[in-house]
Structure 1
Amino acid sequence: MLDPIVAFFQRIFSAIGRGIGMVIAWILWPFVKVANWYRARGWIIKGPIGIVLLLLIGFYSYFVWQTQVWSGFDPDYVNRYNLGQRQQDAGTATTTTPAAGEVAEPAPRTCVRSAIVDVTADLIDFNVNQNAWISSMLLYKLGLFGLDWDKTPWFDNKASFQRGVNQVVRRTAVELVDSLGRVRGTSGINADLQRARGNLQFDEETWYFGSDSLLPKTPTPNYYRTAMADLRKFNASLEACDAIFDGRSDNLIELLDRLANDLGATTAILRERSEFYNNGWFDTRADDRFWFAYGQLYAQYGILSAAGADFEAVIRARGIEPLWTSTISQLRSALRIQPAIISNGREDGWIMPTHLATIGFYMLRVRSNFVEIRDVLAR
């Protein structure tokens, strides 16, 4: 009695197998035709084509490696700075206490480096030296047969993450020039910070050549490396007490305002994607949104931790240490979300999760803490 049922399922699976075989044959047909044509040619034609194919294989192997391997990625990277050991604010003259029985000898005057500048420069180094800058790579710009990689599920996560980090780096550079690196109203703009800001505003996608000009160009990573060098130069000047870091509470308020506004803009993008495109694991743009937001949180975690060291006196005087510590803890908690596949399902769905809503929730929590800290500082 089971024979008809067994025969039915055999026919079903046989039909599925034939269908899969037909799809594979359809995909491989152009490659088979090209291979047959190639085998029938002489070495005068085979040689150059083979060299071109080997170069393409090499370029794409490098491209796949760079997009999939994240060198230096560490959600606990802030621990390397030992910010808890800092005893003085950025820009203040260093003080040393002689041991018992020792006579204090005059030492060269030095000042405390800015942790914000150090972290910003290191984030640039992470983006363009420890890793290749994906957005301006030729094969990334060419896309998948002309289709932008951002519109596919592949090879775009690292680029989006890097752009999220870079967005915070750019914002921080602007604040360093406009307020933190000068005494407003009584000092000029620091030249090193000004150059760094200008170079960081350069677009993120320039390669050595472009369609708008036949002349060679300076690629994007070179501009960012120059900005990194200028930031380190500023900190060297600050350490020598030849530059200014203005650690006033109103400057900290302005920095928090800008960071909070950036988080608000990103959560709006996440909300729009989460609300109107519930395609679960098949939403090819959800990963771009997620990893951009993740990169933003990754960089803000470092910048806010550094600001806690540079503005330690202000934070202690206003009694906001618990709130500050809680905000940093929330940033670190958000970095634990590292799904292998980004899903943009419905918020009330039970099969496909909604990673965009999850990371958006963490961003809103952090933003609300920024606003609360800002309100306390403004009183």
Structure 2
Amino acid sequence: MLDPIVAFFQRIFAAIGRGIGMVIAWILWPFMTVANWYRARGWIIKGPIGIALVVLVAFYAYFIWQTQVWSGFNPDYVNAYNLGQRKQDAGTATGGTASATPPAGDLAEPEPKTCVRSAIVDVTADLIDFNVNQNAWISSMLLYKLGLFGLDWDKTPWFDNKASFQRGVNQAVRRTAVELVDALGRVRGTSGINADLQRARGNLQFDEETWYFGSDSLLPKTPTPNYYRTAMADLRKFNASLEACDAIFDGRSDNLIEFLDRITNDIGSTSDIIRKQSEFQNGGWFDTRADDRFWFAYGQLYGYYGILSASGADFEAVIKARGIEPLWKATISQLRSALKIQPAIISNGKEDGWIMPTHLATMGFYILRVRSNLVEMRDVLAR
């Protein structure tokens, strides 16, 4: 009685098996054809082609390794700076001018004057180091630029998360470099622009995807990471000058207000990008651009977590004098909370869905919380 039913299901599973086999055969056919052709050739042809294939495999292995291994990634990286132990704002004098007691018969020489380094500059330079020295800069790697058979990696679910994260960190670094040049690294209206900061800002604005060669020129180019490394060196040079009291860090409240304004606008723009992706492209696990948006926002918050923590040390006197210390600490805590979200696969499901999660909406929620606190602090400072 059950034999016809059993036979029916056997036929179904056999048909499914044949279908899967045909799909696999169709996928493997070009590779088998090339392999058969290769075996039939002589060593004069097989040798160079074999060497080229080995190089290509090694090239892809290096690319996959660099995109999957995130060296130096640490959501608690701010702890290494011990910012809570700082007692003075950036740029304030810490010593010097006093004369040491000289040996008998010698003239007293004043101790060299020293000033407090900028934690903002230190963190910014270290973020650049993290992006281009501790890790390869993915966006300008040749295989990343070539894509998957010509398809941009950003439009696929693979090998693009680290690149998006790095670009997010770089966005925070760029914004900070601009503010250092325009306001923080000079006394507005009475001093010139610091040359080290000016060079750093210019180099950080360089295109993120430049390799050694490009389609627009036959001449070799300087790749993107080299420009960013030069910017890092210029930032460290500025801080060395600041420590020697040969540079300026203007820690006034109006400069902090302007800095918070710029950061608020920056993450507000990212929030809008996430909103549009979440609202109009909610394909769950099948939204291939959701991971790009998520990891860019994550990288941006990762960068601002360190930069705003450093700002709390550089502007400590202003923050305490205006009574926003509890709100400042709450903002830093919210930034750190956002960095706890590290899903293996990014899903952009509907907000009322019950199968696929909505990681973009969650990230957007944290961004808006941080932005709301920044606006509130800015308003308090402006009173």
- TM bucket by the smaller chain? over 0.9
Query: How far off its partner does 1:19 sit?
Result: 1.4
In the TM superposition, what whole-angstrom CA distance separates every residue of 1:316-352 from its partner, at most 9, and x where no partner exists? 0001110000000000000000000000110000000
Matched, 1:145 2:149: yes
Query: How far off its partner does 1:2 sit?
Result: 3.5
| Alignment correspondent of 1:127 | 131
Query: How far off its partner does 1:95 sit?
Result: 4.7
| Alignment correspondent of 1:373 | 377
* Distance (Å, rounded) in 1 between the aligned partners of 2:53 and 2:112: 61
Query: How far off its partner does 1:108 sit?
Result: 1.8
* Distance (Å, rounded) in 1 between the aligned partners of 2:84 and 2:2: 73
The count of aligned residue pairs is 372
Matched, 1:228 2:195: no
The DSSP-based 3-state class of the residue aligned with 2:93 is coil
Query: Closer, same or farther in 2 for the Cα pair 1:34/1:94, shift >3 Å?
Result: same
In structure 2, give the amino acid aligned to 1:370. L
| Alignment correspondent of 2:71 | 71
In the TM superposition, 1:54-203 aligns within 5 A as: 54-95=54-95, 107-203=111-207
Q: Aligned match of 1:297 in 295, 301, 306?
A: 301
Query: How far off its partner does 1:187 sit?
Result: 0.3
* Distance (Å, rounded) in 2 between the aligned partners of 1:9 and 1:306: 66
Matched, 1:363 2:367: yes
The DSSP-based 3-state class of the residue aligned with 1:94 is strand
| Alignment correspondent of 2:290 | 286
Contact 2:95 2:113 in 1 (8 A): no
The DSSP-based 3-state class of the residue aligned with 1:147 is coil
| Alignment correspondent of 1:313 | 317
Identity %: 88
Kindly report the root-mean-square deviation, in angstroms, between the aligned alpha carbons of the 2 structures: 1.2
In the TM superposition, 1:228-307 aligns within 5 A as: 228-307=232-311
Query: How far off its partner does 1:11 sit?
Result: 2.4
* Distance (Å, rounded) in 2 between the aligned partners of 1:348 and 1:6: 41
Query: How far off its partner does 1:106 sit?
Result: 5.3
* Distance (Å, rounded) in 1 between the aligned partners of 2:9 and 2:252: 75
| Alignment correspondent of 1:101 | none
In the TM superposition, what whole-angstrom CA distance separates every residue of 1:184-237 from its partner, at most 9, and x where no partner exists? 000000000000000000000000000000000000000000000000000000
The DSSP-based 3-state class of the residue aligned with 2:114 is coil
| Alignment correspondent of 1:204 | 208
In the TM superposition, what whole-angstrom CA distance separates every residue of 1:290-309 from its partner, at most 9, and x where no partner exists? 00000000000000000000
In the TM superposition, what whole-angstrom CA distance separates every residue of 1:108-145 from its partner, at most 9, and x where no partner exists? 21000000000000000000000000000000000011
| Alignment correspondent of 1:42 | 42
In structure 2, give the amino acid aligned to 1:237. S
Structure 1 portions without partners, runs of 5+: 99-104
* Distance (Å, rounded) in 2 between the aligned partners of 1:106 and 1:175: 35
* Distance (Å, rounded) in 1 between the aligned partners of 2:253 and 2:138: 38
